[in-house]
Structure 1
Amino acid sequence: MVDSKINQDSLIKKAEVLDLNFGYVSNKKVLNHITLPVYQNKVTALIGPSGCGKTTLLRCFNRMHDLYGEVHYNGEIQLYPDNVNILGKQIDPIEVRMKIGMVFQKPNPFPKSIYENIAYGLRVRGVKKKSYIDEKVEDSLQKAGLWAEVSDRLNTSASALSGGQQQRLCIARALATEPDLLLLDEPTSALDPISTAHIEELVMELKKTVTILMVTHNLHQAARTADYTAFMYLGDLVEFGESSQVFTNPKESRTENYITGRFG
């Protein structure tokens, strides 16, 4: 049962999952009646054992599942303040992906220069003014904490960057189009401890300007970086609350068992 005793008076919802069921038409249902708020300028972490539905839920937010076969959504994901159900049949998934950026588990820079990686999304949107693109490239790299390291080599290949730098580049690329929501799918699992620390610091800084929904298997990372944490198990949302409460005083025995390492 999801914790409902959170003081919501001073919080603004950026998005909200409403009684969402999801599955591939050819397979069993993967998500069961998920209802979850995503608060503006906060970091929300999705935790749980492998196969519990974390990444499945995350990818519903930008309609990634639509790329891989016939799927069935029953329920809503409302994006505020536009009050748009991004799962609506009349909604173009490509437009959704323009509004909701995503950074994947493994850094995936395009085979282009550092500059063109950032400029790509702007060009897709039809932006042609070079001075504006230049400004957004610098601003995005600044926000991703990468500008000082690459400002003198913007025209070199992104593949020449280290793994941690590549992941920050992917974050900068996602930020360039000013997304309403930033999705992070295990953003540090492929990185060394130093790069992981840089990304965690970056996440906590970025929430000042963007709302973040993050999947992580690293419970310490969720406790350090997330304002709110949702524990999922077998496609169900078991518990949701402030991270400090979920990790120190979980309401549900399954949450406690997972956090203390009894399963998962």
Structure 2
Amino acid sequence: MASTLEPTPVKAAAIDLNFYYGAYHALKDVNLPIQEKRVTALIGPSGCGKSTLLRCFNRMHDLYPGNRYQGDIRLYPDNTNILDPRVDPIEVRMRIGMVFQKPNPFPKSIYENVAYGLRLRGAKTRSLLDDRVEEALRGAALWDEVKDRLQAQATELSGGQQQRLCIARCLATDPEILLFDEPTSALDPIATGSIEELISQLRSRVTILIVTHNMQQAARVSDFTAYMYLGELIEYGQTNQIFLKPTRQATEDYITGRFG
């Protein structure tokens, strides 16, 4: 938890964002800046809208009928509203990668898992693919463990290795933002520690937005924290301020365990 932070530009921002599952109003007028090359944590009780908000950032809700956005999510510096129907959600997901709660490697080799997004983007030459696959696996702190078995099935890896492979798969397309939806909830403490360490290392090259139920994890890995309740953003600020001196009583009650 950083005590002082150098100012960075805003990389993305939810602006007057509302979201509906059919008739259910799940997010209510959310305004949230995401600082570039910083880790922002979303915390709050189950059902408060954390994962719903996270999935708005790469248009995952488009995959299901009846879901509806109102408002903007702006991606900077080009000031693109990624919720605009004219914006291709596939391109959004290339720019904003996502790592899910449970590792979800493709039923392919380790190599092909990482190369998948590159092939979608038109990369064909073996030398380019080899270089980018190695770079992504190194970025996910996995290269030394798998470099001699790149053609092995990804499902043969341990749970922690599979999660780092999913991170490498995202990194391969050089995303601007990485979304993490409770990335360690299915992992043991040792694997959890390695993922947290990796997140700390990645903040120097990519902007990160993470949902976590683990308050200690949020305090360890994030620079900024947003507390949500019943679809509303209650409080947002630097993590040390949110955890040590929140301005809202509701935030303090949640963080101290009196609620939630």
| TM-score band w.r.t. shorter chain | over 0.9
Give the equivalent residue in structure 2 for 1:70.
66
What's the CA shift for 1:73? 1.2
Render the CA deviation track for 1:99-129: whole Å, top value 9, x for unaligned.
1100000000000000000000000111101
* Partner-residue secondary structure (3-state), 2:196: helix
Query: Which residue type is aligned with residue 11 of structure 1?
Result: T
CA distance in 1, matches of 2:18, 2:69: 6
What's the CA shift for 1:28? 1.5
CA distance in 2, matches of 1:250, 1:41: 24
Give the equivalent residue in structure 2 for 1:81.
77
Select which of 156, 161, 171 maps to 1:175: 171
What's the CA shift for 1:17? 0.7
Select which of 10, 13, 16 maps to 2:7: 10
Structural mapping, 1:229-240, within 5 Å: 229-240=225-236
Give the equivalent residue in structure 2 for 1:23.
20
**TM-score of the aligned structures, taking structure 2 as reference length:** 0.97
Render the CA deviation track for 1:202-233: whole Å, top value 9, x for unaligned.
00000100000000000000000000000000
Stretches (4+) displaced over 3 A: none
Query: Which residue type is aligned with residue 65 of structure 2?
Result: G
Instruction: Give the aligned length.
Output: 257
CA distance in 1, matches of 2:6, 2:180: 27
Select which of 122, 145, 158 maps to 1:149: 145
CA distance in 2, matches of 1:8, 1:116: 38
- State yes or no: 1:255 paired with 2:256: no
CA distance in 1, matches of 2:211, 2:147: 30
CA distance in 1, matches of 2:198, 2:7: 24
Render the CA deviation track for 1:65-86: whole Å, top value 9, x for unaligned.
0101122211100001111000
* Partner-residue secondary structure (3-state), 1:183: strand
CA distance in 2, matches of 1:221, 1:232: 16
Question: After the TM superposition, which of the residue ranges 206-215 and 91-100 deviates more from structure 2?
Answer: 91-100
Cα RMSD for the two superposed structures = 1.2
Select which of 121, 126, 129 maps to 1:125: 121
Render the CA deviation track for 1:13-37: whole Å, top value 9, x for unaligned.
110110101102x222100000000
What's the CA shift for 1:94? 1.3
- State yes or no: 1:140 paired with 2:136: yes
CA distance in 2, matches of 1:258, 1:57: 19
What's the CA shift for 1:9? 8.6
Query: Which residue type is aligned with residue 213 of structure 2?
Result: H
Give the equivalent residue in structure 1 for 2:44.
48
What's the CA shift for 1:239? 0.3
Query: Which residue type is aligned with residue 143 of structure 2?
Result: W
* Partner-residue secondary structure (3-state), 1:223: helix
CA distance in 1, matches of 2:228, 2:150: 41
Give the equivalent residue in structure 2 for 1:3.
none
**TM-score of the aligned structures, taking structure 1 as reference length:** 0.95
CA distance in 2, matches of 1:10, 1:123: 36
Structural mapping, 1:174-193, within 5 Å: 174-193=170-189
Query: Which residue type is aligned with residue 51 of structure 2?
Result: T
Aligned pair in 2 of structure 1 residues 45, 99: CA closer, same or farther (>3 Å)? same
What's the CA shift for 1:11? 2.0
CA distance in 2, matches of 1:28, 1:162: 38
Query: Which residue type is aligned with residue 202 of structure 1?
Result: L
Give the equivalent residue in structure 1 for 2:212.
216
CA distance in 2, matches of 1:193, 1:11: 32
CA distance in 1, matches of 2:124, 2:153: 22
Name stretches of at least 5 consecutive residues in structure 1 with no aligned partner: 1-6
Structural mapping, 1:96-107, within 5 Å: 96-107=92-103
